[in-house]
A = this chain, B = another copy of it.
């Protein structure tokens, strides 16, 4: 492939390079007539502006970075959560990047590394992205936030319940937990266990708040012993479920901190010969494929992860197109309650 540059397009459309640039960058002062001629030349030649050159000369890089928190060795892979949260995030982000002519770069960071700040700074100064998307738990990490602030890169924190720098895009975790708990209460449950999420994730606390609020609103007391800490892993869920389900006055319903935890609860329930939803109702958060396909399918709150990521990209692109400044807004996206067979009135 011989390189097709802006000059070739200009020659073909018999206009100046400047005009082609104006068309490519959507500047308003081009007549539809010319614009069309230029576009035709672009299409015919299959021209795409060289992103490196655009970055170097202009003020934008057309790159957005998403940091993923993982250990930086292959061995640690197995311990990584097999969730598809990140996957969904990437998907939503890529879709919008594509629309805007942007590209998504996924970069690994290890929050526990002592090189963390250096790593973030290195990535930013090497790539000079127009924006960064942070996902839990790195959207709460002070080192990361500080590094981003110093680099003056606009960033969006996805799914973070905490106020702080940068824009936020999230669902209302508290409201979601509240709705889910309400649903269980409506079905007649009075003893509702809650395997909380990892304390590292602020969403866990918000969900717990929603749970408490719903009980309070229904005039039900909160039995603290029914709140068992989980950590978003299967193993943690198993331990928590065992604690809840082996007691004589076991709950008639359990709210799991996330899908992984819910699967663990199912696992333990099956072992203990506790039928779902016959003996125990189960509800959870996230709506990953596995809980749609489990037996029975689980009642969950669908977190609009891809949509959140899409909006994050929109915000960053808009900021880059303007002055590179991103307002500190908090964007709440609606969640969806998926009522499935795992919740039913208590026995």
Contacts and interface: CB of A to CB of B under 8 A. Distances in A.
A106 interface: yes
Interface stretch (A25-33, A41-49, A179-187, A246-254): A41-49
A19 interface: no
A87 interface: yes
Nearest to A73: B95
A48 B126 contact: yes
Interface centre among A125, A128, A295 (most CB of B within 10 A): A125
B103 A107 contact: yes
A263 B293 contact: yes
A80 B1 CA distance: 33
A155 to B, nearest CB: 14
Interface stretch (A53-61, A132-140, A215-223): A53-61
Counting every copy of the chain, the complex holds 2
Given A74-B92, A77-B91, A87-B84, A125 B52 contact: no
A50 B105 contact: no
B52 A128 contact: yes
Contact of A80 (B50, B77, B91, B264): B91
A150 B1 CA distance: 6
Contacts of A118: 46
A234 B293 CA distance: 8
B108 A105 contact: no
Contacts of A88: 77
A317 B192 CA distance: 55
A12 interface: no
A335 to B, nearest CB: 16
Given A50-B128, A94-B107, A105-B105, 6 more contacts: A52-B128, A68-B94, A82-B290, A84-B87, A103-B107, A267-B295
Interface of A: 1, 3-4, 46-53, 55-56, 61, 68, 70, 72-74, 77, 80, 82, 84, 86-88, 90-92, 94-95, 98, 103-108, 118, 121-128, 150-152, 234, 263-264, 267, 270-271, 288-290, 293, 295, 306-307, 310
6 contacts: A46-B125, A48-B126, A52-B128, A72-B98, A74-B306, A105-B105
